Chain A
Amino acid sequence: MTPYWPSLLGGMLIGLSATMLLLLNGRVAGISGILGRLAQGAQIPTNAAFVIGLILGPLFYRLLAGNWPDVTITASLPVIALAGLLVGFGTRMGSGCTSGHGIVGLARLSPRSIAAVLTFLSAGVTTVTLMRLVSP
Chain B
Amino acid sequence: MNRMMQILTALVSGAVFGLGLSLSGMLDPTRVRGFLDVGGGWDPSLAFVLGGAVMVAFAGMAMRRRLQHPAFDDSFNLPATTPIDTRLILGSAIFGVGWGMAGLCPGPALASLSLGLAPVVLFVGTMLAGMVVHDRLVPKPMTPTPVVGAS
| Chain A residues packing against B (C-beta within 8 Å) | 2-4, 6-37, 39-40, 45-47, 49-61, 64-65, 68-75, 77, 79-108, 110-113, 115-117, 119-129, 131-132
Contact = CB atoms under 8 A, between A and B. Distances in A.
Interface residues of B, number: 122
B13 A128 contact: no
B11 to A, nearest CB: 4
Contacts of A71: 27-29, 112, 115, 117, 120
28 contacts: A10-B52, A11-B52, A14-B20, A14-B56, A26-B70, A27-B70, A28-B78, A28-B149, A37-B148, A50-B14, A51-B14, A53-B12, A57-B22, A84-B123, A84-B127, A87-B105, A94-B87, A95-B146, A96-B92, A96-B150, A104-B150, A111-B84, A117-B92, A124-B99, A124-B100, A125-B100, A127-B101, A129-B38
Interface string B93-108: 1111111111111110
B90 A93 contact: yes
B9 A25 contact: yes
Interface in B110-141: 110-115, 117-120, 122-135, 138
Most buried by B among A7, A23, A106: A7
A20 to B, nearest CB: 5
B135 A40 contact: yes
Given A54-B15, A94-B92, A95-B79, A24 B151 contact: no
Q: Top 8 nearest A-B pairs by Cβ distance?
A: A57-B18, A30-B151, A100-B151, A53-B14, A88-B130, A123-B96, A10-B24, A94-B91
Contacts of A110: 79, 81, 150
